[in-house]
Amino acid sequence: MALQQYLETHKERFLNELLDLLRIPSVSADPAFKNDVAKTAEFVKDNLIAAGADNVEVCPTNGHPIVYADKIIDPTLPTILVYGHYDVQPADPIELWDSGPFDPIIKKTDVHPDGAIFARGACDDKGQAFMHIKAFEGMLATDSLPCNVKFMIEGEEEVGSVHLGQFCNDNKERLSCDMILVSDTSIIANDTPSITVGLRGLSYIEVEVIGPNRDLHSGVYGGAVANPINVLAKMIASLQDEDNKITIPGFYDDVAIVTDQERAEMNKAPFDIEHYKKDLVIGDVHGEKGYTTIERASIRPTLDCNGIWGGYIGEGAKTVLPSKAFAKISMRLVPNQSSDVITELFKKHFESIAPDSVQVIVRPHHGGEAAVTPTDTPEYQAAYKAMQKTYGKNPLPARGGGSIPIVALFEKVLGVKTVLMGFGLNSDDIHSPNEHYGLFNFYKGIETIPYFYKYYTELKSK
């Protein structure tokens, strides 16, 4: 049977298997889900075995396990290493979901008239990683796998891939390959395919501001003792100036300058700012002076407060001057900035701006480096040709604003380049309530991947 026909015949089953995968709540951040994360690894393993992979193994780490598998048909042929993640973000706030985050349902939307799967992880990244297993199954079943393939599907991407670097180091031989193929990013639109050519880095920090040694009556002490929440709010606000530039000394020192030509090029990508505002129900966009929205969300570094808490947040009013306030702050970094350096600069600066009336503790979380992927490589060309074939349009190169810290590490540890051939949409609400993934996107991915294999093998053997 021909591959296209095989994929068509087994469409329903592919979808049902993905729905089963989405039913397991593999939230890596929350220890309460540890068993479910392990169960998900087993599911991925069983699915790879059923697809016909060899050496399928759930590899334990000091955190969540990594699923490895391969199919070596001829050692003289190129080897593609497929990377993905089976862990997902927490579903909170659960009350904002229209249906259960782990009870996948299919609904039509304006953007996805053929229907979309609503569930945590549908797009990021279970749905996208699963396309690779199904494409592989199809190629094997129809005797059309043109090269060797290895799979590395991890369970800690959403918590910073903390144990993956060690795993790569310990398994250099087993993971040796010619390139890494990742579907964990987005395209511009379903009628505008694109290939991600850059990712931002990340520095993630938690801060604690400590005022008086105990909660106080806000009438008896208010006005005379520093309120840590007020102080924290002021400190955070001061981290950006009126042009929305970050005020941490040295923050921009290492930022790689993008040429005017490159900027002009990226701003040609289809982007409707009115639609953007309407979709998000915002009166206006916001950001660093001198840059467009596309640039602000890709080639420029940022600083955002991800969460802030302290004091009384229950029903009604309680007059209290709280003893402590907390915040989680992330900085998105661009090529050439170092996550460790930025974390250190932040720490020094944040401690230095604290008034004597409070104490400040800065706790660094995970980080990661930015990445840029070149376009003059056989792997990029193969992705280009594959998307051109299945979308009937030339894909555009696009920088992504998110982070996949392991991409920089792959290059460093394994010495290989990555291709970011994702199929999601930025409007798919990843990390948000009602995350979804279009059926069109799911099937388009499965259809495109085998072309990637074919073109890559052809280009490499030239």
Residues that bind Mn ion (CB under 5 A): 124-125, 184
Contact window for ligand BES (CB under 6 A) among 57-65, 98-106, 181-189, 303-311 = 181-189
Nearest residue to ligand BES on Cβ basis: 402
Q: Is 125 in the site for ligand BES (CB under 6 A)?
A: yes
Contact window for ligand BES (CB under 6 A) among 7-15, 72-80, 156-164, 319-327 = 156-164
Tokens representing 453? 């294999």
**CB contact at 8 A, 339 and 203:** yes
Task: Find out whether the peptide bond into 54 is cis, omega within 30 degrees of 0.
Answer: no
Q: How far is the CB of 163 from Mn ion (least distance, A)?
A: 17
Q: How far is the CB of 302 from Mn ion (least distance, A)?
A: 17
Q: Rule CB under 6 A: which of 236-265 touch ligand BES? A: none
Q: How far is the CB of 179 from ligand BES (least distance, A)?
A: 18
Q: Rule CB under 6 A: which of 59-98 touch ligand BES? A: none
Cβ nearer to ligand BES, comparing 21 with 199: 199
Q: Please name the helix (run of DSSP H) or strand (run of DSSP E) that holds residue 69, with its range, or none.
A: strand 66-71
Phi then psi for 196, rounded to 5 degrees?
Answer: -75, 125
Q: Is 193 in the site for ligand BES (CB under 6 A)?
A: no
Cβ nearer to ligand BES, comparing 405 with 450: 405
Tokens representing 241? 């100036």
Tokens representing 31? 């220890």
Phi then psi for 246, rounded to 5 degrees?
Answer: -80, 135
Q: Rule CB under 6 A: which of 350-369 touch ligand BES? A: 366, 368
Exactly one of 160, 335, 438, 445 binds ligand BES (CB under 6 A); which one? 160
Query: What gap in Å lies between CA 13 and CA 386, rounded to an integer?
Result: 24
Cβ nearer to ligand BES, comparing 146 with 367: 367
Task: Find the helix packing angle between 11-22 and 439-460, rounded to 10°.
Answer: 110
Exactly one of 157, 369, 435, 447 binds ligand BES (CB under 6 A); which one? 157
Assign 3-class secondary structure to 365-387: EEEECCEECCCCCHHHHHHHHHH
Exactly one of 137, 156, 178, 184 binds ligand BES (CB under 6 A); which one? 184
Q: How far is the CB of 182 from Mn ion (least distance, A)?
A: 9
Cβ nearer to ligand BES, comparing 84 with 322: 84
Characterize the bridge pairing of strands 324-333 and 302-310.
Answer: antiparallel
Cβ nearer to ligand BES, comparing 70 with 154: 154
Q: How far is the CB of 320 from ligand BES (least distance, A)?
A: 34
Phi then psi for 207, rounded to 5 degrees?
Answer: -125, 150
Cβ nearer to ligand BES, comparing 185 with 441: 185
339 binds, among Mn ion, ligand BES, none (CB under 5 to 8 A by kind): none
Q: How far is the CB of 402 from ligand BES (least distance, A)?
A: 3
> CA distances (Å), 410 to each of 153, 165, 340, in order?
14, 8, 18
400 binds, among Mn ion, ligand BES, none (CB under 5 to 8 A by kind): ligand BES
Phi then psi for 66, rounded to 5 degrees?
Answer: -115, 135
End-to-end CA distance of the chain: 28
Q: How far is the CB of 30 from ligand BES (least distance, A)?
A: 14
Q: Rule CB under 6 A: which of 402-441 touch ligand BES? A: 402-405
Tokens representing 215? 């909660």
Write the DSSP string, 297-315: TTTS-EEEEEEEEES--SS
Tokens representing 27? 């939230």
Q: How far is the CB of 394 from Mn ion (least distance, A)?
A: 26
Residues binding ligand BES: number (CB under 6 A): 17
**CB contact at 8 A, 165 and 413:** yes
Burial 230-249 (b: 16+ CB within 10 A, else e): ebbbebbeebbeeebbbebe
Cβ nearer to ligand BES, comparing 19 with 188: 188
402 binds, among Mn ion, ligand BES, none (CB under 5 to 8 A by kind): ligand BES
Query: What gap in Å lies between CA 252 and CA 412, rounded to an integer?
Result: 24
Binding site for ligand BES (CB under 6 A): 124-125, 157-158, 160, 184-186, 199, 202, 366, 368, 400, 402-405
